[in-house]
Structure 1
Amino acid sequence: MDKRVEKDQAVCEPPAPASVSVARAFLKSLTFARLPIFGCAGFIAFLFLANLWNFAVERDWPKLRIRSASPLAGVAKPKPAPWTLEAFLSGVTQKAVSTNLGRMSPVFPISVRAKNQLVFSLFGGSAAPGVLIGRNGQLYEDIYINEFCARDGGFDSSRLAAWSSTLRDIQELAQAHGKSFVYLISPSKAARYAEDLPKSAPCAARATTTSEKLAPYRAALDGAQVRYVDGPALIAAEKSKQPIALFPRGGSHWNSVGGALAMREVTRALPASPVGILDFASAPAPEAEGTDRDLLDLLNLLWPDANYPTATIGRAGEKGDCARPPHLLALGGSFLHQVLAAATLAPCPPQIDYWFYMRTEDNGIELGHYRRAPGDASNGERLKATSEELDENLAGSDIILLEENEAGVATTKQVGHLVEALRRLP
């Protein structure tokens, strides 16, 4: 009886007023309408907290930073904000903090890539400082274009005489200490593939008829009897013979075949070469990697196209029977990377100490030191770059390879550094 009464009461209970149902529906629709606002607010809060976290751990625990899966190429690490009264009053501190916080944001890389992709896809332009797009999609660095376009056939005879005399001194000092020496001039893409320069280049209309710069330098080297390899002449001679261009579309440096051709000439120039005579084979690479796409990486695109022709190399001759690995000391710029990678394929692969002069964000020159074990074609291990370390490397070296690019020939620091270090040897 009691159960039936309860059931009748439940059946007879009046429905909720219409106003209550309308209010519930309104609140529900209001919640859904505000979901995008809540999502944006949550995203902004995440960015704010992520930036605070990155800022807090950057100095002492950098590995704990929240990072993008694809960091930007060529973006220098932000410098610490100066916390002085003078810097604060002048606004330098505020600007540095703002820049650092912006670059520490996890969305900074994808934002830059999206903007760069827009400029590239819609306008065919480059949003990367210093990288220019030429004909047929060829990428160039502006510093090489500017140097090439400024060539007028003139040269400083006194500088040329001092330079060649110093190289002669280096060769004689090396020989006096029982070491072989070879000087290498590496090529400039702007000079050797001038037909594809951007239309905006100052000398685009006369690019293929610009004065040949190197004739007096070659004459000075020959007159001083310096042992050298002429990379630009080598590229000019091989350019029409090679099925794949010796400078890749997305790179600033010669490819592995260009570097191997130069290293082969180095081994031929060495008297009684401790590494033997290099012989190599080449084949098309499935995709551009490393220095073959260094400028493409600097474009920082969302969808970079690295499927353009480039090459890979391998040993063609037999590995030699070497009592010990020779020690090769190389000083120069980034063009040496492919040359030294080819050296690992020589009959007697050397231990390589690579002293690398690289350009910094403020257009200065920074010296790095890398060591590769015999047969290691990678960058190797980064070590200290001190005068004491250079002297120790020189003392133990069998071969000294000095490189200058044709764009800066007779003006770089490595010539002076090397002769000073050789003069310090006992």
Structure 2
Amino acid sequence: MSDDMDKRIETDETAVGAAPLRAAGVIAFVKLLTPARLPIFGCAGFIAFLFLANLWNFAVERDWPKLRIRSAWPLYGVAKPKPASWTLDAFLSGETQKAVSENLGRMSPVFPISVRAKNQLVYSLFGGSAAPGVVIGRNGQLYEQFYIDEFCARDGAVDSSRLSAWSSTLRDIQNLAQARGKSFVYLISPSKAARYPEDLPKSASCVARAASTPEKLTPHRAALDTAGVRYVDGPALIATEKRRQPIPLFPRGGTHWNSVGGALAMRDATRALPASPIGVLDFTSASAPEAVGTDRDLLDLLNLLWPDAHYPTAAIGRAGEKGDCPRPPRLLALGGSFLHEALAAATLAPCPPQIDYWFYMRTEDNNIELGHYRRAPGDASNGERLRATSDELDENLARADFILLEENESSIATTKQVGHLLEALRRLP
């Protein structure tokens, strides 16, 4: 027998001996796939998916963020984690490791649903809020802790020198605006805690004396009247209308007034002007089937699995026909988030304006973030975000027909928009 024949026989014998081994391996693998072991493989596969998804998100986050694997229901109000610092000092102090850990956790596709599940558990079992700064009052009313703290701290004390300087500044703004052919109205927006104190949470420090808390705005109104400033008193308007309106002017799940509250304020603003460039606003209102937008901003911040947005709120509409307007007037609005609903109502005026909205928002580190949004005539949405520079403000101001300046009663006479507007008016030629 030749050597080649010997090798072929040896190979055939090896193949014959390997067949049972392969069969045994298949049988063993099939046994592993029994129904009892499937959950183990499922968990292992899920963990592997999360690991690979996190690596992928971490790799594309900086240069190709649109390629990230995202949750279909992202969280509201969660600040983007800060990038990791890769210095030696940061590494030795543990700052780098902490930042990397937070970033990887936030990038996980299951992070949002995990947070919502935990928040729902806290809400359903204990009636509490797991959202920082959001508290639950009576009858399910949601409040921001900031407004409760400010309301409970009211003691009637007044800094007369600051009050005088503030009202004088507003008078100067009004005079400069009128000298340049522009209409001007100052708006005081209301605080939910101050105007609906009957539903404050039991944990509020002033819940027992809420009805007797000093009226903060009395000296401010007197200062405005003495200075001859044209203004709309939103808190007084709410106090009067809350007894007349069939639907609360602050929605259960929101921190801002609803569309009717904002429209009432805008209507008074147009009435206050000798000749309103947008015409005198009139509107209709009806109950809405579900809360949307700012009517559920605090409810959204709770980040629940099953948020209930079916509570009383309203929608507004135009009353009457559009006016005969040679061109869309230009409205420049400066203030905080309470302006949103008032400006949405302005789009229903006889002459809907182009709106440049300069939005002053307090950040987590107590600084002021300034945004600039433009709405086309009749556009009730947020509009288009544009640059927020001094040059852009000056250009808006030069072309404006109507200036609306807003401060919330919680921070009245302390905001930056008052000084910014005066400086911009003084820069105009």
- Using the TM superposition, give the Cα deviation of residue 33 of structure 1 relative to its aligned residue in structure 2, in angstroms: 2.9
Q: Corresponding residue for 2:13?
A: none
The alignment partner of 2:418 has SS state of helix
Encode CA deviations 1:84-136: one digit per residue, 9 max, x unaligned: 12211111111111111100100000000000000000000000000000000
TM-score scaled by length of structure 1: 0.93
Q: Which amino acid aligns with 1:347?
A: P
Q: Corresponding residue for 2:349?
A: 346
- Using the TM superposition, give the Cα deviation of residue 36 of structure 1 relative to its aligned residue in structure 2, in angstroms: 1.6
Instruction: Confirm whether residue 310 of structure 1 aligns to residue 313 of structure 2.
Output: yes
The alignment partner of 1:63 has SS state of helix
In the alignment, the residues of structure 2 paired with residue 169 and residue 81 of structure 1 have an alpha-carbon distance, to the nearest angstrom, of 47
- Using the TM superposition, give the Cα deviation of residue 278 of structure 1 relative to its aligned residue in structure 2, in angstroms: 0.3
Encode CA deviations 1:269-302: one digit per residue, 9 max, x unaligned: 1121000000000000010000000000000000
Pick which of 54-63 and 289-298 moved more: 54-63
- Using the TM superposition, give the Cα deviation of residue 82 of structure 1 relative to its aligned residue in structure 2, in angstroms: 1.4
Q: Which amino acid aligns with 1:212?
A: E
- Using the TM superposition, give the Cα deviation of residue 209 of structure 1 relative to its aligned residue in structure 2, in angstroms: 1.5
CA RMSD, 1 decimal:
1.5
- Using the TM superposition, give the Cα deviation of residue 362 of structure 1 relative to its aligned residue in structure 2, in angstroms: 2.4
Q: Corresponding residue for 1:187?
A: 190
Q: Corresponding residue for 2:9?
A: none
TM-score scaled by length of structure 2: 0.93
Q: Which amino acid aligns with 2:296?
A: R
Q: Which amino acid aligns with 1:189?
A: K
Instruction: Confirm whether residue 107 of structure 1 aligns to residue 110 of structure 2.
Output: yes
In the alignment, the residues of structure 2 paired with residue 50 and residue 190 of structure 1 have an alpha-carbon distance, to the nearest angstrom, of 43
In the alignment, the residues of structure 2 paired with residue 247 and residue 199 of structure 1 have an alpha-carbon distance, to the nearest angstrom, of 19
In the alignment, the residues of structure 2 paired with residue 271 and residue 281 of structure 1 have an alpha-carbon distance, to the nearest angstrom, of 24
The alignment partner of 1:308 has SS state of coil
In the alignment, the residues of structure 2 paired with residue 74 and residue 217 of structure 1 have an alpha-carbon distance, to the nearest angstrom, of 33
Q: Of 88, 95, 99, which aligns to 2:98?
A: 95
In the alignment, the residues of structure 1 paired with residue 76 and residue 170 of structure 2 have an alpha-carbon distance, to the nearest angstrom, of 36
Q: Corresponding residue for 2:158?
A: 155
The alignment partner of 1:353 has SS state of strand
Q: Corresponding residue for 2:52?
A: 49
Runs (4+) of structure 1 exceeding 4 A deviation are 23-27
Q: Corresponding residue for 1:165?
A: 168
Q: Corresponding residue for 2:234?
A: 231
Change (3 A) 1:27 1:62: closer
- Using the TM superposition, give the Cα deviation of residue 26 of structure 1 relative to its aligned residue in structure 2, in angstroms: 11
Q: Corresponding residue for 1:325?
A: 328
Q: Corresponding residue for 1:271?
A: 274
In the alignment, the residues of structure 1 paired with residue 29 and residue 412 of structure 2 have an alpha-carbon distance, to the nearest angstrom, of 77
- Using the TM superposition, give the Cα deviation of residue 240 of structure 1 relative to its aligned residue in structure 2, in angstroms: 0.5
Q: Which amino acid aligns with 1:237?
A: T
The alignment partner of 2:327 has SS state of coil
The alignment partner of 2:35 has SS state of helix
Q: Corresponding residue for 2:255?
A: 252
In the alignment, the residues of structure 1 paired with residue 191 and residue 142 of structure 2 have an alpha-carbon distance, to the nearest angstrom, of 13
Q: Of 287, 300, 303, which aligns to 2:303?
A: 300
- Using the TM superposition, give the Cα deviation of residue 40 of structure 1 relative to its aligned residue in structure 2, in angstroms: 1.1
Encode CA deviations 1:127-147: one digit per residue, 9 max, x unaligned: 000000000000000000000
Matching of residues 381-392 of structure 1 within 5 Å: 381-392=384-395
In the alignment, the residues of structure 1 paired with residue 33 and residue 266 of structure 2 have an alpha-carbon distance, to the nearest angstrom, of 72
- Using the TM superposition, give the Cα deviation of residue 363 of structure 1 relative to its aligned residue in structure 2, in angstroms: 2.8
In the alignment, the residues of structure 2 paired with residue 289 and residue 36 of structure 1 have an alpha-carbon distance, to the nearest angstrom, of 40
Q: Corresponding residue for 1:73?
A: 76
Q: Corresponding residue for 2:7?
A: none
- Using the TM superposition, give the Cα deviation of residue 161 of structure 1 relative to its aligned residue in structure 2, in angstroms: 0.3
Q: Corresponding residue for 1:218?
A: 221
- Using the TM superposition, give the Cα deviation of residue 60 of structure 1 relative to its aligned residue in structure 2, in angstroms: 0.9
Q: Which runs of 5+ in 2 are unaligned?
A: 1-22
Q: Corresponding residue for 2:133?
A: 130
Change (3 A) 1:26 1:372: closer
In the alignment, the residues of structure 1 paired with residue 166 and residue 346 of structure 2 have an alpha-carbon distance, to the nearest angstrom, of 27
Encode CA deviations 1:26-70: one digit per residue, 9 max, x unaligned: 962674332222111111111011011011111111111000000
Q: Of 413, 418, 421, which aligns to 1:418?
A: 421
Q: Which runs of 5+ in 1 are unaligned?
A: 1-19
